[in-house]
């Protein structure tokens, strides 16, 4: 996934503002099943919010970066306990 420009991040954040988190990081953490679910949601929607566990801001950012890297998505940003992920759909 290529890096997003500031303008692209801004547009995607504004679009994500009205979205609800569709998946939550639970007690199992970042399991393979969780990653498959995130990947399939990104394939269907392109832009999703992921609810992260409580912890420090640095922990949430690193967790969000791990998720984005595992599913080949761009991390748009972390707002509070929500990470915004974007992966353009390969099929039109």
CB-count burial class (<10 Å; 0-12, 13-18, 19+) for 71:
buried
Most distant CA pair in the chain, distance: 39
Alpha helix stretches (DSSP H) within the chain: 6-16, 32-45, 57-70
Helices (H) and strands (E) in the chain, counts: 3, 4
Indicate yes or no: pTM above 0.95.
Answer: no
In this predicted model, what pLDDT tens digit does every residue of 36-84 receive, in sequence order? 999 999 999 999 999 998 887 788 999 999 999 999 999 999 999 999 9
Do 50 and 82 meet the contact criterion of CB atoms below 8 Å apart? Answer: yes
Q: Return the CATH number of 6-86, one of 3.40.50.720, 3.30.110.60, 3.40.1410.10, 3.30.420.40.
A: 3.30.110.60
């Amino acid at each position: 996934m290529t890096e997003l420009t500031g303008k692209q991040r801004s547009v995607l954040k504004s679009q994500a503002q009205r979205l609800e988190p569709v998946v939550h990081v639970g007690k199992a953490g970042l399991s393979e099943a969780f990653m498959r679910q995130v990947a399939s949601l990104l394939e269907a929607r392109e832009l999703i919010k992921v609810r992260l566990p409580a912890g420090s801001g640095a922990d949430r950012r690193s967790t969000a970066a791990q998720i984005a890297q595992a599913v080949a998505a761009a991390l748009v940003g972390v707002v509070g306990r929500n990470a915004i992920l974007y992966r353009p759909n390969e099929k039109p």
